[in-house]
Amino acid sequence: MLKINALHKSYAIGDSSLHVLKGIDLSVEEGEMVAIMGSSGSGKSTLLNIIGMLDVLDSGEYILDGLPIDNLTEKKAAVYRNKFLGFIFQSFNLINYKNALENVALPLYYQGLKRKKRQELGMFHLEKVGLADWAHHLPKELSGGQKQRVAIARALAANPKLLLADEPTGALDTKTSHEIMAFIQQLNDEGKTILMVTHEEDIASMCKRIVRLRDGVIMEDKTVTQVRASQYV
Amino acid sequence: MLKFLFDRDTWQEVFDSFSKNKLRSILTMVGVWWGVLLLIGLLGSARGLENSFNRLFGDFATNSVFIWGQRTSKPFKGFQEGKGVGLTLTDAKKVEDNVEGIEFVVPRNQRSAKMDRNFLSGNFSVAGDLPLLDKVQKKKLKNGRFINEADMLDKRKVAVISDDIYKQLFEKDEAAIGAYILINGINFKVVGVFKTSNVSMGPSSDVHIPFSTYQQIFNQGDRIGWIMITGQPEHSIKQIEADAKLLLKNLNKIHPDDKRAFGSFNLGDEFAKVTGFLTGMQFLTWFVGIATLIAGVFAIGNILLITVKERTKEIGVRRALGATPFEIKRQVVVEAVFLTIVAGLFGIITGGWILIGLDAMFGQGDDATIVNASVSIAVVFIALLILVVLGTLIGLIPAFKATSVKPIEALREE
């Protein structure tokens, strides 16, 4: 599904450069649910950004579903992101002047689907996250948990191969966090591959595999027994 | 691209971002609106002034010059300076035959005479004229006709009088045509009444009688008061004037450098001054209007730049969801063009209202100062075209700004 070999990435800071990722090897199979952990500065967000094609690698190899991701132009990256990836952000990143349905349908707009088809698919995914009744509400009229569920519906709308979540529960209280995690686990049960960055141990323990980063290298990569979030809800 | 322009979603996006910032968008549009308003209002008024000038000059052959004799200022070929110079019909004929580019040469005579009718009388100027005069100085006849060839041949005692004289010598609503008036004691039959012109170009006359009749009753012989020369449109009236004067000096044994022997009034020159002024005004109008437009469009670009900066995160999200840089740029440019066009259309409409108002205030009646103040459709289209082009160009700046930030930077948590 996803294969990364000898990945390096550094950032120029003034005259010096900061070596953030120092040779990462990672491979993720279809249907896995992986938590990437590490303290701030460990390079976990950079890794997620490169996987998400929001950033480019300096050297190494990145293959997504058999497709080598290299020589990324902005346009190519946009098309790949649209086709292959779904993003879930810590701060939801909904567009505040569009209602829930329009937000969910946005990736479909960039796929060039007809309006009617977009509405249908958007509604379908909103139903999936249990917010069909809130379709015509603006984000400011929704609670944090509801916003994140709209964001998840949006990430799912384009039917991506891989879901990328950057601290998906970072802005939510514990109870809501567990609800969201239960939902993400359910998606994983249905076969979606999920990659998640978090620094919370209990959230990480709800994944099937934990990859720990420190100072740009993988310290530990272990399979864990998944804690079901539904038991807390 | 066409499909994009007719796509409902495109305009939904434009409308959304507009309604999000209503006040600011409207304030932004004021600049462009004002520019277009100025352009339309000023151009229309300039056109109105031009129309009113044209109406005043309309009855005259503007490409014309009057020449008359004065006194010499230099001795020449045995003649002392101060010799009186008079023009004759022979002079007029020679000028017509020898100077290049001439259309008509009209010899004219005029003097003042006493006129009587019943118990009313007054002193008026009487001119002896050829039928040709009507061609170069169109008379607006209220009734009757102008002098014709038959009048000339038979030396008929007929007169064409101005409506001023009519008012003074006739009762109200009395028929003038066919009535008789006395000029210096001689009976003349009135055959036409003309309307006095608003502007006088050269000496104005109250009564026109046939040239031949004038020659006879005033013992004029071949002598004439002055000649009026009209030039063909493609010839410079200034050159014709110089050529004619030189020829006349030659014929009358006057020093070629004598500047005072002949007096002249070049209507073409005067007219050129007025039209030059009008052209200058139009140029100024375009300059001011377009400069204001540019300033307005820049204001739109500036606001969009701020808007884009505020929407950095949103743009980042859109790009993460798969919007290509081109799609983002296109949207920003469409917004810029949309704002400019809407503002421009409002400017055109309100500019039209101003012209309607001007027309109502100053455009009515015969001596209106602004006649039919208007702009042509072509000007409106040119203005709109300029707006679209400027809007697009100015929209490109925020558009490139919008995509210059990498999505990852745009998404970075604050």
- Do B276 and B270 contact (CB within 8 A), yes or no? no
Tell me the nearest-neighbour CA distance from B280 into chain A, angstroms: 51
ipTM for the predicted complex comes to: 0.90
> Of A203-207, B1-5, B260-264, which one has max mean pLDDT?
A203-207
Inform me whether the pLDDT recorded for A4 exceeds 90.
yes
Mean pLDDT of the region B266-276: 81
* Mean pLDDT score, B129-149: 84
pLDDT at position B60, please? 64
How far apart, in whole angstroms, are the C-alpha atoms of residue B90 and residue B100?
17
Strands (E), B118-242: 120-129, 140-144, 158-162, 180-183, 186-195, 207-210, 223-224, 226-231
- Strand B120-129 to B102-117 pairing: antiparallel
pLDDT above 60 (res B414):
no
Sheet containing A2-13: give its strands across: A16-28, A2-13, A59-64, A67-68
CB proximity B20 to A under 8 Å: yes
B-proximal residues of A, 166-225, CB under 8 Å: none
Q: Which of B8, B320, B322 sits opposite A111 (nearest CB)?
A: B322
For residue B58, the model assigns a pLDDT of 63
Instruction: Inform me whether the C-beta atom of residue B411 falls under 8 Å from chain A C-beta atoms.
Output: yes
CB-defined contacts A:B, below 8 A: 65
pLDDT, tens only, B180-191: 888 888 889 999
Q: Quick one: pLDDT at residue A133?
A: 94
**How many Cβ atoms from other residues are within 10 Å of residue A159's Cβ?**
14
Report which residue type is found at B303. I
Q: What is the CA radius of gyration of chain A?
A: 18
| For residue B61, pLDDT beyond 70 | no
pLDDT in tens, A31-74: 999 999 988 888 888 899 999 998 889 999 999 988 898 888 88
Tell me whether B323 touches chain A (CB under 8 Å).
Answer: yes
Higher-scoring residue by pLDDT: A72, B350: B350
The predicted-structure confidence for B100-112, as pLDDT tens digits, reads as follows 888 888 888 888 8
Q: Do B322 and A81 touch (CB under 8 A)?
A: yes
Among A162-171, B206-215, B364-373, B402-411, name the one with the lowest average pLDDT: B364-373
Any idea which residue has 């004598």 for tokens? B258
Residue A152 pLDDT level (bands cut at 50, 70, 90):
very high
Of residues B167 and A87, more confidence is placed in A87
Distance (Å) from the alpha carbon of B10 to chain A's nearest alpha carbon: 10
Percent of chain A scoring above 70 in pLDDT:
100
Q: Please tell me the distance in Å from B300's CA to the nearest CA on chain A.
A: 22
Given a cut of 60, whether residue B201 has pLDDT beyond it is: no
* pLDDT (tens digit per residue) in A120-138: 999 999 999 999 999 999 9
Question: Could you tell me which of A4, A11, A9 has the C-alpha nearest to residue A27?
Answer: A4
**Better-scored residue on pLDDT, B2 or B6:** B6
Alpha helices in chain A (DSSP H): 44-51, 74-84, 100-110, 115-128, 144-157, 174-189, 201-204
Residue of A78, A89, A93 lying closest to B324 (CB–CB):
A78
Task: Look at residue B4 and tell me whether its pLDDT is greater than 90.
Answer: no
Say whether B320 and A98 touch across the interface (CB within 8 A): no
Predicted local confidence at residue B154, as pLDDT: 87
Put simply, the chain B residues between 326 and 345 with a CB less than 8 A from any chain A CB are 326-327
Average pLDDT of chain A, as a whole number: 91
